[in-house]
Amino acid sequence: MTAAIAAAAPGTTWVARYAHTLPPTVAIQRAAAIAGLAHLSPSHLCVHPTYGPWIGLRAVVVVDADGARARSAAGAAAVRLRARGWRDAFAAAVAAGVPAGTAELAAGWRRWLAVRDACPVGRRHRYDEVQLRYHYTKDPAALAEAIAAATAAADR
């Protein structure tokens, strides 16, 4: 990341705040919406106009430099979302209980997956089964399986 920022904004100072820090030090979904990267939907998932909700938000980088005005593509996702009702899947997941953390999320993860699946935008960018299992359950076996599959594919 240091090399990428140095190339994009040479000679500037910058600071990065990461999404994995707990308790959270940045409202990263709001930052994504303000930056025009993605629309923050009523399901509390950010929806990218191309990739839909199939994105992870990893860090916010603040650079001490004049910026260009953000060109927002997020509005396009919002318009397409308004046309369909995917609030029902979110309401059903909430009704079954909001997980207090990773362990509880892992126990009922298919319900939360249904929320993402109900989003009409970016369907062809859905994660594959192994990646889904890792993202929702943090099961290291799923990660090992994904690495083995990627290595095998690279060797072919």
Only one of the segments 7-15, 54-62, 117-125, 142-150 lies at the binding site for ligand B12 (rule: CB under 6 A); that segment is 54-62
Return the number of other C-beta atoms located less than 10 Å from residue 83's C-beta: 7
Residue 24 sits in the site that holds ligand B12 (CB under 6 A): yes
Positions of E strands within 36-148: 39-40, 46-47, 59-63
Interface with ligand B12: number of residues (CB under 6 A): 24
Residue 63 sits in the site that holds ligand B12 (CB under 6 A): no
Q: Please, which residues have CB within 8 angstroms of residue 19's CB and are 6 or more apart in sequence?
A: 26, 28, 56, 57, 58, 59
Alpha helices, DSSP H, located in 17-128: 28-34, 74-82, 87-95, 102-107, 109-117
* Burial (CB count within 10 angstroms: exposed 0-12, middle 13-18, buried 19+), residue 58: exposed
Residue 94 sits in the site that holds ligand B12 (CB under 6 A): yes
Nearer to ligand B12, 12 or 25 (CB): 25
Residue 115 sits in the site that holds ligand B12 (CB under 6 A): yes
Residue 81 sits in the site that holds ligand B12 (CB under 6 A): no
Nearer to ligand B12, 9 or 73 (CB): 73
- CB contact burial 10-40 (16+ within 10 A = b; e otherwise): eeeeeeeeebeeeeeebebbebbbeeebbbb
**Minimal distance in Å, beta carbon 10 to ligand B12?**
28
Residue 55 sits in the site that holds ligand B12 (CB under 6 A): yes
**Minimal distance in Å, beta carbon 37 to ligand B12?**
10
**Minimal distance in Å, beta carbon 54 to ligand B12?**
7
Residue numbers at the binding site for ligand B12 (CB under 6 A): 19, 24, 27-30, 40, 43-46, 53, 55-58, 94, 98-99, 105, 112, 115, 135-136
